[in-house]
Structure 1
């Protein structure tokens, strides 16, 4: 999973301390999230709501790499 949190916050001029003061997210947690770790669902929701973005625009991954690809089944010929 990848994070765009640092990029989004930097673009908007938002400091980590904003989330610490306004929402009570610990400074240590904000620091690790800013560096790219994956948040709890609660923190992801709070941050995404404040930034006005869907969670998946901040934290994302290529879902296709998790999908098991199977070979297409061969159809039997009917007489």
Structure 2
């Protein structure tokens, strides 16, 4: 996405995923386009990233700040909740 791609490159991350924000005439509309990264989707993405990297889920870390992160936090080897 517009934000996560830049952060992924700058931080040297292998994987990043987020909702795609709609931009019209150079301005954010407040809408999301494409597939929504929801509670279940976050856990699915963590599993996919781990599989693609050949990393066991037991060696993954997930960080979240809300109820929609619970599935991902539970799937990770180390789940970190903050400001939750």
* TM-score, normalization by structure 2: 0.23
Which structure would you say has the larger RCO, counting Cα contacts within 8 Å and 6 or more residues apart? 1
Hey, which of these two has a bigger chunk of strand by percent?
Answer: 2
Q: Which has the larger radius of gyration?
A: 1
Hey, which of these two has a bigger chunk of helix by percent?
Answer: 1
* TM-score, normalization by structure 1: 0.24
